[in-house]
Amino acid sequence: MTNWRAVFIGFVIATIIGIFGIAFPGLGQLTAGLVGGFAAGYLARGGLASGFWHGLLAGALGGIIGGLILGVAVGIAGLAIGPVGGAISGVVGAGIATVAAVVALIMALESAIAGAVGGAVHD
């Protein structure tokens, strides 16, 4: 059974650290995923498998929401420029969607590994 409270707390922790981690590109986001996944796995209290699952969900949620926010920002910026900007943002948006999916996958996997460690530490 999924402990959504643990997933949400892990997601919030990863989001907060990720916001401050912007000052340290790459390392900040990596740290955010690891700490958020660890927290989700630790709070889920179920061992390796449960920690893995909850960390995976927390990381994936963060990656998906981050990608959506980025996509909306690009769309709004394109519309602000006008019809040509809308066409450009449509083309760029496909690339951003691909990058966002890859980032979500990486964030989910690193959070899942950290969640497994957190679940193992708690037991």
Paired tokens of 57: 């969900």
Q: How far, in Å, CA of 11 to CA of 106, rounded?
A: 15
Q: What pTM does this model have?
A: 0.80
Contact 90, 78 (CB under 8 A): yes
Q: What is the pLDDT of residue 32?
A: 86
For the segment 38-52, what is each residue's pLDDT rounded down to a tens digit? 999 999 988 899 999
Return the minimum-mean-pLDDT range out of 29-38, 51-60, 82-91, 111-120: 82-91
Mean pLDDT, rounded, for 60-77: 76
In this model, does residue 53 exceed pLDDT 90?
A: yes
- Average pLDDT across the chain, whole number: 84
Q: What is the pLDDT of residue 46?
A: 86
- Block residue for tokens 């920690």: 51
